[in-house]
Structure 1
Amino acid sequence: MMEDLSLHILDIAENSVSAGAKRISVAIDEDEPRDILVIRIADNGRGMTADTLRRARDPFFSSKGKATGLGLPLLAQAAEHCGGGLRIVTARRKGTTVTARFRLGHVDRPPLTNMAGTMTTLVLAHPEIDFRYRHRRRGQVFRFSSLPFGRHARASSGTSAGLIAEVREALRTGLRGIGTT
């Protein structure tokens, strides 16, 4: 099991990049009254074939030619261990949505500790992709779009220390505004 849910999000988003997605949305809902944490990653990539979808939770299957594809099986295991589950919806040439549900207060639920770092990594590693991030907590919502940062990175032919700091600070400030990090 991965130590942090943000690492699961990074892994699934990288799968979306590999599937040719041009838009990737990450949505997190922390619903304390209902004791539910929902993480949803949606993309407009190739989608999965019926066979790939059927085998997606098999740790010994990978659509990338590797011997193992542990991302989805590990996320499913973590969610199920914490009173939740994993759902995958996919359509060829339209994309895939992965939704993981956890009991928010489950004692064994991995923390969601570094979303600013995870999203910064994704945005700067893939400036050509439109990343959208929404995080809802205690009735407050933080929204982030990578479009202005991606345009800046492409215009300057890469990332600079200033751009890295700007992206990271935009994410940290927004997350602090809803009482999380």
Structure 2
Amino acid sequence: MTDEKQPVDWAGIERDYTSTTRSIREIAGWFQISDTAIRKRAKAEGWVRTKGSQGSHLPPPANLPVIEGPKEPPKLDEVIGRGRNLIDRLMDELDAETLHRGEMEVIIQESETDPARLQALRQAVSLPVRAKTLQTLALALKTMSETAAPEGKKAQRKSAAEASTAPGGKFAPRPGPPHLSVVSNK
């Protein structure tokens, strides 16, 4: 299958170039052509951009798909919650695998005739593999817990220092000039 080039709509490009405030790169993106090609063509044909024109921002040509902006990223709490649910399910699977290890070995022994595959399946349910899986899950859970944990000591000290110098804080500058107090020792 060959990629055929689509014909370039130079009339539309010239119209946008001369009558809108869109950037050349934006126009190039709409028409799927490089901004360098538009600049060369504009220079060769003497296109003049109108300064300060309030031309309408035309919709993209009909043959181009409309690309929506990025969706709002998921919140940290949501991601951590989904991660913890996933870890819970994986821990349940590991628990079931450990609980039924003997049965799995019997099934593997009876159903598998290829010696290389038999060895690979035995290794997959072995204690070191299960221990490594548990270690990986524990590390993932620890990382998620640290991500959701309150700020560390450095951040706490910094916020306390900022609060003390804020208006009304312990070390905040006092308004007005200093004044003397008269104390009577009678």
The two structures have a TM-score, normalised by structure 1, of 0.18
Structure showing greater relative contact order (alpha-carbon pairs closer than 8 Å, 6 or more residues apart): 1
Tell which structure's C-alpha radius of gyration is larger. Answer: 2
Hey, which of these two has a bigger chunk of strand by percent?
A: 1
The two structures have a TM-score, normalised by structure 2, of 0.18
